Structure 1
Amino acid sequence: MEEKKVTWLELFYDLLFAAAVATTTQVLLHVEKGVIHPEYYIKFVLMFIPIWWSWTGQTMFVNRFGQDFLHQRIYMILQMLFVLIMTSSLSVHFDQYYRPFLIGYIGIRAITAIQYLVVQKLEDKNRKEVAQFLGTRFWIGIIISSLSIFFDSWIRYAVLYAGIIVDIIVPIFGRKYLVKAPTNTAHLLERFASLTLILFGESVVSTLFILQPQKGDWHTIAFSLISFILIISIWWQYFDHVEKKVNKSIQSAGQTILYGHLFILMSLSMIAASIKLMFLHEVHYSFIVYFVFSSVLLYLTATSIVFHQYRYEQHRLKIHHYGLFLGILAAFFILDMIVMVPNIVITCELTLFFVIYAKFTTT
């Protein structure tokens, strides 16, 4: 497959979406009476999905049809304006900012759909069929979501996300077309890795901002160091895995990478939020244990599913490897539920787990 390089404009594009994800993660820091109430989980997910899908939709277009031409740069720059509108509308008080959020989301998706319709005139055979299918079918979800502007209360959210769900499943129903014009796996992995890397950077900066160790406060200094090692361990596992163990020449529709990264990115946001919550001591002990280990379990499950089929056959993990990872997590979880340990100990346990996970998946 022809080599495809990530452009500087794509990296700039990623920065705006990383800021949107960071803003959304802040929703998980709203603690009331020692727990995060279900409404904040729901808001986190409902805000995260359209951000992920907006970025993913444009990334998939660039992966298949993108060229560093002037008109495609202009399309992406216009999209960035709508990203700014959408990001500035992200808030736990979502009702107050619904209209600008909708304008931002619809603007991003509409430009992506237009790009498919434009490029299909320049393509032929299978590639033309794919561009035509996506360029026409994506309008179904866009129109449904747009209709939410005419409703109030919970109905408009139901209409909005009905359109988003339709939009998301369009590629699944069109898989028979998409496999005829497969994605560039190397470029696709690089794009998702790029966004993930920026999120890691956001996690480090935001974590250090909250910790801010004072002179002589050894507990805070130790927590900062262990948290940094934890983040580096996750980084090591993800990026060494992608760089060394994944066969980038595999041709597919890329849907495992595409949809699986929703859960990878969400779990990373949850882990970043859990580090802050453990340091701030604002949540009940049992709640933070459940929240932390659920976040790590989500990351383990998502990365295992996403990368399994892309790993070189001789490097694919066996069932006993996954049994080991789950066993370690279960042992730490049970221990922490039986014996109340300091939060810094939980952080050490997570660090040890990711060191072991990285060892088995990258060497």
Structure 2
Amino acid sequence: MEDKKVTWIELFYDLLFAAAVSTATHVLLHVEKGEIYPEYFLKFVLIFIPIWWSWVGQTLFINRFGQDFLHQRIFTILQMLFVLIMTSSLSVDFDQYYLPFLIGYIGIRALTAIQYLVVRSLEEGDRKKVAQYLGTRFWIGIIISCFSILFDSWIRYSVLYAGIFVDIIVPFFGRKYLVKASSNTVHLLERFASLTLILFGESVISTLYVLQPQKGDWDSILFSIISFILIISMWWQYFENVEKKVDKSIQTPGQTIIYGHLFILMSLSMIAASIKLLFLNEVRYSFNLYFIFGSVLLYFITTTIVFHQYRFKQDRLKYYHLALFLGILATLFISNLIVEVSNIVIMGEMTLFFIIYAKLTTT
């Protein structure tokens, strides 16, 4: 497969979406009576999905059809403007900012669909069919979401996310076309790794935020050091797998990478939020445990699934590896429920888990 390199404008594009993800993560910091109410978790998910899908849409277009031409740069820059509109509209109070959010999201998705229709006339054979299929079918979800403006209350959001759901499943129904014009695996992994790296950076910033309020406080410094080691262990495990354990010659539609990373990126945001909450000690002990262990479990399961299909056969994990990792998490979680420990100890346990996870999956 022809090499495709990530361009500078793609990296610039990522930075804008990182700001949107950071805004979504902030929703998880709304603590009331020692816990985060389920409505905030729901709002986090409902905000995160349009952000992720907007980024994925343009990334997949560039992956298959992108060239560093002037008109494609202009399309990307126009999308950036709509990303800014969407990001500035992200809020827990969604009703107040709904119209600019909808304009931002629809603008991004419409520009992506238009780009497929533009390249359709330049392609031949299976690639032309892919461009035709995606360039026409994506409008179904876009139009459904547009109709949400006609409604109020929960019906508005039901219509909006019905359109987003249709948009997301369009590639599944078009798999017979997509398998004949596979995604560029090298470029796809690099793009998702780029966004993931930025979110790791956001996590490091979280640790610096933790340290700042209590300068000279050794408990804060120790907490930050342990948190940093945890993040570095996660980084090591993820990027060592991407760089050395993945067979980039495998040609597929890339759907495992695409949809699996929704949960990887969400879990990274959840882990970043849990680091802050553990330090600030504003939530109940039992809630702390469920939140951070649940976030780590989600990250572990999704990274395992995403990388398994693309690993070299000799490097694929066995069932006893899965049992070992789940056993470690279960043992730590149950023991912490029985015997209450400090938040620094919980962070130390999570760090130990990721060190073991990185060691056994990268050697």
Q: TM-score with structure 1 length normalisation?
A: 0.99
Q: In 2, distance between residues paired with 1:309 and 1:28? A: 32
Q: Work out whether 1:74 is the aligned partner of 2:74.
A: yes
Question: Paired residue for 2:318?
Answer: 318
Output aligned runs, 1:142-181, within 5 Å.
142-181=142-181
Deviation digits for residues 45-91 of structure 1, max 9, x if unmatched? 00000000000010000000000000000000000000000000011
Q: In 2, distance between residues paired with 1:205 and 1:213? A: 13
Q: In 2, distance between residues paired with 1:147 and 1:207? A: 42
Q: Residue 57 of structure 1 aligns to which amino acid in structure 2?
A: G
Shift of 1:216: 3.2
Question: Paired residue for 1:211?
Answer: 211
Shift of 1:205: 1.2
Q: In 2, distance between residues paired with 1:41 and 1:96? A: 19
Residue 34 of structure 2: SS of its match in structure 1? coil
Q: Residue 16 of structure 2 aligns to which amino acid in structure 1?
A: L
Q: In 2, distance between residues paired with 1:310 and 1:225? A: 33
Shift of 1:207: 2.9
Q: Is the 8 A contact 2:18 2:199 kept in 1?
A: yes
Deviation digits for residues 103-133 of structure 1, max 9, x if unmatched? 0000000000000000010000000000000
Q: In 2, distance between residues paired with 1:213 and 1:148? A: 43
Q: In 1, distance between residues paired with 2:324 and 2:220? A: 32
Output aligned runs, 1:51-130, within 5 Å.
51-130=51-130
Question: Paired residue for 1:28?
Answer: 28
Question: Paired residue for 1:225?
Answer: 225
Shift of 1:214: 3.3
Q: Is the 8 A contact 2:210 2:224 kept in 1?
A: no
Between stretches 70-79 and 215-224, larger displacement belongs to 215-224
Identical columns (%)? 79
Question: Paired residue for 1:279?
Answer: 279
Q: In 2, distance between residues paired with 1:27 and 1:195? A: 20
Q: Residue 15 of structure 1 aligns to which amino acid in structure 2?
A: L
Residue 214 of structure 2: SS of its match in structure 1? coil
Q: In 2, distance between residues paired with 1:181 and 1:330? A: 42
Q: Is the 8 A contact 2:21 2:48 kept in 1?
A: yes
Question: Paired residue for 1:254?
Answer: 254
Q: Is the 8 A contact 1:213 1:221 kept in 2?
A: no
Question: Paired residue for 1:187?
Answer: 187
Residue 68 of structure 2: SS of its match in structure 1? coil
Q: How many residues matched?
A: 363
Question: Paired residue for 1:237?
Answer: 237
Question: Paired residue for 1:303?
Answer: 303
TM-align CA RMSD: 0.7
Q: Is the 8 A contact 1:211 1:279 kept in 2?
A: no
Q: Residue 75 of structure 1 aligns to which amino acid in structure 2?
A: F
Q: Residue 350 of structure 1 aligns to which amino acid in structure 2?
A: M
Q: In 2, distance between residues paired with 1:319 and 1:210? A: 38
Q: Is the 8 A contact 1:82 1:107 kept in 2?
A: yes
Q: In 2, distance between residues paired with 1:73 and 1:88? A: 23
Q: In 2, distance between residues paired with 1:89 and 1:16? A: 14
Residue 309 of structure 1: SS of its match in structure 2? helix
Shift of 1:212: 1.1
Residue 110 of structure 2: SS of its match in structure 1? helix
Q: Residue 216 of structure 1 aligns to which amino acid in structure 2?
A: G
Q: Is the 8 A contact 2:230 2:351 kept in 1?
A: yes
Q: Residue 83 of structure 1 aligns to which amino acid in structure 2?
A: V
Q: Is the 8 A contact 1:279 1:343 kept in 2?
A: yes
Q: Structure 1: which 4+ aligned runs deviate by more than 3 Å? A: 213-216
Question: Which stretches in structure 2 are left out of the alignment for 5+ residues?
Answer: none
Q: In 2, distance between residues paired with 1:24 and 1:203? A: 14
Deviation digits for residues 225-253 of structure 1, max 9, x if unmatched? 00111111111110111101000010000
Q: Residue 152 of structure 2 aligns to which amino acid in structure 1?
A: D
Shift of 1:202: 1.3
Q: In 1, distance between residues paired with 2:285 and 2:311? A: 38
Q: Is the 8 A contact 2:210 2:220 kept in 1?
A: no
Between stretches 205-214 and 145-154, larger displacement belongs to 205-214
Residue 310 of structure 2: SS of its match in structure 1? coil
Q: TM-score with structure 2 length normalisation?
A: 0.99
Residue 239 of structure 2: SS of its match in structure 1? helix
